[in-house]
Amino acid sequence: MKLIVRWMLLAAALLLVANLYGGVEVKSFGTALIAALVIGLFNALLRPILVLLTLPVTLLTVGLFLFVINAAMFYAAASVLGDFNVTGFGAALIGSLIYSLCSMVIDVAMERMFPDR
Protein backbone atom coordinates (compact mmCIF):
# COMPACT_ATOMS: atom_id res chain seq x y z
CA MET A 1 0.00 0.00 0.00
CA LYS A 2 2.80 2.40 0.93
CA LEU A 3 4.50 1.88 -2.44
CA ILE A 4 1.33 2.61 -4.41
CA VAL A 5 0.59 5.78 -2.42
CA ARG A 6 4.17 6.99 -2.92
CA TRP A 7 3.96 6.24 -6.66
CA MET A 8 0.71 8.21 -6.99
CA LEU A 9 2.17 11.15 -5.04
CA LEU A 10 5.32 11.16 -7.19
CA ALA A 11 3.15 11.20 -10.32
CA ALA A 12 1.25 14.16 -8.87
CA ALA A 13 4.61 15.82 -8.14
CA LEU A 14 5.57 15.36 -11.76
CA LEU A 15 2.36 17.10 -12.81
CA LEU A 16 3.22 19.88 -10.35
CA VAL A 17 6.65 20.25 -11.95
CA ALA A 18 5.00 20.52 -15.37
CA ASN A 19 2.63 23.22 -14.07
CA LEU A 20 5.34 25.19 -12.28
CA TYR A 21 7.97 25.08 -15.00
CA GLY A 22 7.29 25.47 -18.71
CA GLY A 23 10.27 23.40 -19.84
CA VAL A 24 8.61 20.18 -18.67
CA GLU A 25 5.41 18.90 -20.25
CA VAL A 26 3.27 15.98 -19.09
CA LYS A 27 0.14 15.18 -21.10
CA SER A 28 -1.97 13.40 -18.44
CA PHE A 29 -1.95 11.74 -15.03
CA GLY A 30 -1.52 8.35 -16.71
CA THR A 31 1.58 9.65 -18.44
CA ALA A 32 2.81 11.01 -15.12
CA LEU A 33 2.33 7.58 -13.53
CA ILE A 34 4.38 5.90 -16.24
CA ALA A 35 7.02 8.66 -16.15
CA ALA A 36 7.34 8.39 -12.35
CA LEU A 37 7.81 4.63 -12.74
CA VAL A 38 10.46 5.07 -15.45
CA ILE A 39 12.31 7.74 -13.45
CA GLY A 40 12.24 5.42 -10.43
CA LEU A 41 13.58 2.50 -12.48
CA PHE A 42 16.34 4.61 -14.00
CA ASN A 43 17.30 5.92 -10.56
CA ALA A 44 17.37 2.40 -9.15
CA LEU A 45 19.23 0.73 -12.01
CA LEU A 46 21.35 3.30 -13.87
CA ARG A 47 22.06 5.99 -11.28
CA PRO A 48 24.30 3.85 -9.01
CA ILE A 49 26.45 2.89 -12.00
CA LEU A 50 26.75 6.51 -13.12
CA VAL A 51 27.57 7.67 -9.60
CA LEU A 52 30.32 5.08 -9.37
CA LEU A 53 31.75 5.90 -12.80
CA THR A 54 31.75 9.64 -12.14
CA LEU A 55 33.02 9.46 -8.56
CA PRO A 56 36.22 11.45 -9.24
CA VAL A 57 34.24 14.29 -10.85
CA THR A 58 31.69 14.17 -8.05
CA LEU A 59 34.42 14.44 -5.43
CA LEU A 60 36.11 17.24 -7.35
CA THR A 61 32.87 19.24 -7.50
CA VAL A 62 32.03 18.46 -3.86
CA GLY A 63 28.93 16.49 -4.85
CA LEU A 64 27.44 19.05 -7.22
CA PHE A 65 27.85 16.69 -10.16
CA LEU A 66 25.07 14.56 -8.64
CA PHE A 67 22.65 17.25 -9.83
CA VAL A 68 23.84 16.58 -13.38
CA ILE A 69 23.28 12.84 -12.90
CA ASN A 70 19.75 13.50 -11.61
CA ALA A 71 19.06 15.72 -14.60
CA ALA A 72 20.39 13.01 -16.93
CA MET A 73 17.97 10.46 -15.42
CA PHE A 74 15.10 12.94 -15.78
CA TYR A 75 16.07 13.71 -19.38
CA ALA A 76 16.52 10.02 -20.23
CA ALA A 77 13.03 9.23 -18.92
CA ALA A 78 11.61 12.01 -21.08
CA SER A 79 13.51 10.64 -24.09
CA VAL A 80 11.97 7.20 -23.64
CA LEU A 81 8.38 8.39 -23.21
CA GLY A 82 6.38 10.14 -25.89
CA ASP A 83 3.93 12.17 -23.78
CA PHE A 84 6.55 13.36 -21.27
CA ASN A 85 8.70 16.08 -22.81
CA VAL A 86 11.63 18.14 -21.56
CA THR A 87 12.84 20.98 -23.80
CA GLY A 88 16.54 20.56 -23.06
CA PHE A 89 19.15 19.61 -20.52
CA GLY A 90 18.75 22.90 -18.65
CA ALA A 91 15.04 22.25 -18.35
CA ALA A 92 15.83 18.72 -17.15
CA LEU A 93 18.13 20.16 -14.49
CA ILE A 94 15.51 22.58 -13.18
CA GLY A 95 12.73 19.98 -13.48
CA SER A 96 14.76 17.37 -11.62
CA LEU A 97 15.53 19.86 -8.84
CA ILE A 98 11.85 20.65 -8.35
CA TYR A 99 10.94 16.96 -8.59
CA SER A 100 13.62 16.07 -6.02
CA LEU A 101 12.31 18.69 -3.59
CA CYS A 102 8.79 17.32 -4.01
CA SER A 103 10.13 13.80 -3.50
CA MET A 104 11.77 14.82 -0.22
CA VAL A 105 8.49 16.32 1.02
CA ILE A 106 6.63 13.16 -0.04
CA ASP A 107 9.14 10.96 1.79
CA VAL A 108 8.68 12.94 5.02
CA ALA A 109 4.89 12.77 4.64
CA MET A 110 5.05 9.03 3.96
CA GLU A 111 7.06 8.46 7.15
CA ARG A 112 4.36 10.25 9.11
CA MET A 113 1.48 8.48 7.36
CA PHE A 114 3.02 5.00 7.56
CA PRO A 115 5.34 4.90 10.59
CA ASP A 116 7.59 1.87 10.92
CA ARG A 117 6.91 -0.25 13.96
Q: What is the pLDDT of residue 116?
A: 77
The model's pLDDT over 13-55, given as tens digits with 9 standing for 90+, comes to 999 999 999 999 999 999 999 999 999 999 999 999 999 999 9
Q: How many domains does the chain have?
A: 1
d(C-alpha 30, C-alpha 75), whole Å: 19
pLDDT category at 1 given cuts 50, 70, 90 is confident
Domain of residue 77, residue span: 2-113
Q: What is the pLDDT of residue 24?
A: 96
Element at 59 (helix H, strand E): helix 55-60
Long-range own/partner contacts, residues 61-67 (CB < 8 A, 24 or more apart): 67/93, 67/96, 67/97
